[in-house]
Amino acid sequence: MKWKVHDQRSDADAAGRRLRVLLAALCSVLLITAAACTGGSPSADNGGGNGGGGSGNINAQNANPQTTAFRWGTRAWAASIVNNPYSPTPTPQYNLSLLSLAVVSDWDRPGDNPYYPEIAESWDVGKHSITFHLRTDAKWQDDKPLTSKDVLTAFRVAGIDYNSVWAAISKVDAPDDHTVTVDLQSWAVPENALLHLLQIVIVPDSQYGQFVPSDVDKTLIDYWKTYNILHPTADSISKASSGAAGKVMAENSANLVKYNPKPMIGNGPYKLKSANVSGVLYEKWNGFWDAKKITAPFVQVYPMNTSTEYGALSSGSIELETDNQFSDPQAEALNRKGANTHYVFIPSPVQQVGLVVNFNHYPFNIREVRQALEYVIDRHDLVKRDMGGDLVQNPAEETPDGINYFEAKKYLTPDQFAKLNHYPKDTDKAASLLESVGFTKKNGKWMTPKGTPFAFTISEAAGIPYFDEDGLIIAGYLKNFGIDVKVENVDPGTYTTKQLAGDFAVSQWWMDWGQGPPMADFAAGFGQASSPSWNYPISYSGKGPCKCAIGIGPEADVPGLGHVNIASELNREVNQEPPETWAKYTWAWAQWFNKELPFLPLYNNAFHEAYSTARYTNFPPDSEKWLWTGLTGAAQPVEWMQNGYLKLK
Amino acid sequence: MLGYLARRVLMALVTIYVVVTISFYMVRLMPGNPMQYLEAQLQQQGGVSPDQIRQQVEAIYGVMPSGPLWKQYLTYVGNVFRGDFGDSMLNPGQGVLSIIASALPWTVILVGISLIISFVIGLVIGTILAAYPDSTFSKVMTGVVSFLSAVPNYLIAIVLIYLLADLNHLFPITGAYSNNTEPGFNLPFIGSVLYHAALPMAAYVIVSFGAWSLAMKGSVTTVLGADYVRAAEARGLGGRRVTQTYIGRNAMLPMITNLAVSVGYMFGGSVFIETYFSYPGLGFRLISAVNSRDYSLMMGCFILITIAVVVSNFVVDLIYPVVDPRILKPASRKSRLTAPPPQAELPGAEAMNA
Q: Tell me the percentage of chain A whose pLDDT exceeds 70.
A: 86
Give the residue-averaged pLDDT of A91-106.
90
Length of chain A in residues, anyone? 649
Contacts of A6 in chain B (CB under 8 A): 239
Is the predicted pLDDT of residue A110 greater than 50, yes or no?
no
User: Which residues have CB under 8 Å from A625's CB, separation 6+?
Assistant: A105, A106
pLDDT, tens digit, for every residue of B249-276?
778 778 888 888 888 777 776 788 888 8
A506 Cα to chain B: minimum distance (Å): 18
B239 CB within 8 Å of a chain A CB: yes
Rg from Cα positions in chain A: 29
Comparing alpha-carbon positions, the chain B residue that sits nearest to A520 is: B49
pLDDT of residue A285: 96
A137 Cα to chain B: minimum distance (Å): 31
CA distance B280 to B105: 9
Q: Which of A1, A3, A241 to mutate to test the interface with B (most CBs of B within 10 A)?
A: A3
Is the predicted pLDDT of residue A30 greater than 70, yes or no?
no
Q: Tell me the percentage of chain A whose pLDDT exceeds 90.
A: 49
Cβ of A5 and B242 within 8 Å? yes
B246 Cα to chain A: minimum distance (Å): 12
pLDDT of residue A74: 86
Residue A562 CA to its chain's centroid (Å): 34
User: When comparing pLDDT for A577 and A29, which is higher?
Assistant: A577
B271 Cα to chain A: minimum distance (Å): 13
Chain B residues 146-165 with a CB less than 8 Å from chain A: 158, 161-162, 165
pLDDT of residue A350: 63
Tally of CA atoms within 13 A in the half-sphere of A272 that contains its CB: 25
Sign of the Cα torsion A386, A388, A392, A394 reads positive
Q: How confident is the model at residue A173 (pLDDT cuts 50, 70, 90)?
A: very high
Residue A149 CA to its chain's centroid (Å): 30
Strand partners, A116: A103
Contacts of B40 in chain A (CB under 8 A): 492-493, 495-497
Please tell me what DSSP assigns to residue A420: S
Comparing alpha-carbon positions, the chain B residue that sits nearest to A628 is: B47
Asked whether A270 and A622 are in contact (CB, 8 A), the reply is no
Over the range A402-424, which residues count as b (16 or more CB within 10 Å of their CB) and which as e? bbbbbbbebbbeeebbeebeebe
Is the predicted pLDDT of residue A464 greater than 70, yes or no?
yes
CA distance B56 to A163: 8
Among the residue ranges A405-409, A442-446, B46-50, B57-61, the one predicted with the least confidence is B46-50
Say which of B93, B189, B278 has its CB closest to residue A76: B278
Residue A38 identity (one-letter amino acid): T
Residue A203 CA to its chain's centroid (Å): 22
Give the residue-averaged pLDDT of A557-567.
95
Report how many Cβ contacts below 8 Å link chain A to chain B: 266
pLDDT of residue B241: 75
Helices (H), chain B: 2-29, 34-45, 50-61, 69-80, 96-107, 113-131, 136-150, 153-160, 187-224, 227-234, 239-241, 249-266, 271-276, 282-291, 295-323, 330-338, 349-352
Say which of A79, A523, A631 has its CB closest to residue B91: A79
Q: How confident is the model at residue B43 (pLDDT cuts 50, 70, 90)?
A: low
Is the predicted pLDDT of residue B337 greater than 60, yes or no?
no
Give the residue-averaged pLDDT of B49-68.
60
Among the residue ranges A54-68, A245-259, A331-345, B196-210, the one predicted with the least confidence is A54-68
User: Which residues have CB under 8 Å from B216's CB, separation 6+?
Assistant: B122, B123, B125, B126, B127, B129, B130, B251, B255
Q: How confident is the model at residue B221 (pLDDT cuts 50, 70, 90)?
A: confident
What 3-state DSSP class applies to B6?
A: helix
Asked whether A379 and A603 are in contact (CB, 8 A), the reply is yes
pTM: 0.80
Is the predicted pLDDT of residue A259 greater than 70, yes or no?
yes
User: When comparing pLDDT for A31 and A606, which is higher?
Assistant: A606
Is the predicted pLDDT of residue B348 greater than 70, yes or no?
no
Is the predicted pLDDT of residue A222 greater than 90, yes or no?
yes
Among the residue ranges A37-46, B89-98, B131-140, the one predicted with the least confidence is A37-46
Give the residue-averaged pLDDT of A63-92.
85
Pairing assessment for the beta strands A445-447 and A440-442 based on DSSP bridges? antiparallel
Say which of A7, A36, A39 has its CB closest to residue B238: A7
Asked whether A516 and A487 are in contact (CB, 8 A), the reply is no
User: When comparing pLDDT for B151 and B352, which is higher?
Assistant: B151
CA distance A427 to A383: 19
Among the residue ranges A76-90, B97-111, B321-335, the one predicted with the least confidence is B321-335
pLDDT of residue A164: 87
Q: How confident is the model at residue B39 (pLDDT cuts 50, 70, 90)?
A: low
Give the residue-averaged pLDDT of A162-176.
94
Peptide bond into B31 cis (omega under 30): no
Give the residue-averaged pLDDT of B75-86.
82
CA distance B304 to B85: 11
User: When comparing pLDDT for A577 and A180, which is higher?
Assistant: A180
Contacts of A86 in chain B (CB under 8 A): 59
pLDDT of residue A53: 39
User: When comparing pLDDT for A89 and A554, which is higher?
Assistant: A554
Give the residue-averaged pLDDT of A288-299.
95
pLDDT, tens digit, for every residue of A377-422?
999 899 888 766 566 666 777 778 888 777 777 789 999 999 999 9
Chain B residues 308-337 with a CB less than 8 Å from chain A: none
pLDDT of residue B59: 60
pLDDT of residue A638: 93
> How confident is the prediction for chain A on average, in pLDDT?
85
pLDDT of residue A334: 85
Q: Tell me the percentage of chain B whose pLDDT exceeds 90.
A: 9
Say which of A43, A258, A300 has its CB closest to residue B92: A258
Residue B236 sits at φ, ψ, to 5 deg, of 85, 20
pLDDT of residue A36: 44
User: When comparing pLDDT for A34 and A598, which is higher?
Assistant: A598
Pairing assessment for the beta strands A179-184 and A129-134 based on DSSP bridges? antiparallel
Residue A181 CA to its chain's centroid (Å): 29
Residue A162 identity (one-letter amino acid): Y
Cβ of B179 and A279 within 8 Å? yes
Peptide bond into A363 cis (omega under 30): yes
CA distance B103 to A629: 35
pLDDT of residue A506: 97
Give the residue-averaged pLDDT of A72-101.
86
Pairing assessment for the beta strands A70-75 and A320-321 based on DSSP bridges? parallel
Contacts of A520 in chain B (CB under 8 A): 49
| Beta-sheet strand order (sheet of A279-284) | A270-276, A279-284, A298-304, A70-75, A320-321, A599-612, A341-357, A506-510, A455-461, A484-490
pLDDT of residue A595: 96
A79 Cα to chain B: minimum distance (Å): 7
Give the residue-averaged pLDDT of A319-346.
80
Q: Which of B91, B34, B98, B41 is nearest to B63 (CA)?
A: B34
User: Which residues have CB under 8 Å from A435's CB, separation 6+?
Assistant: none
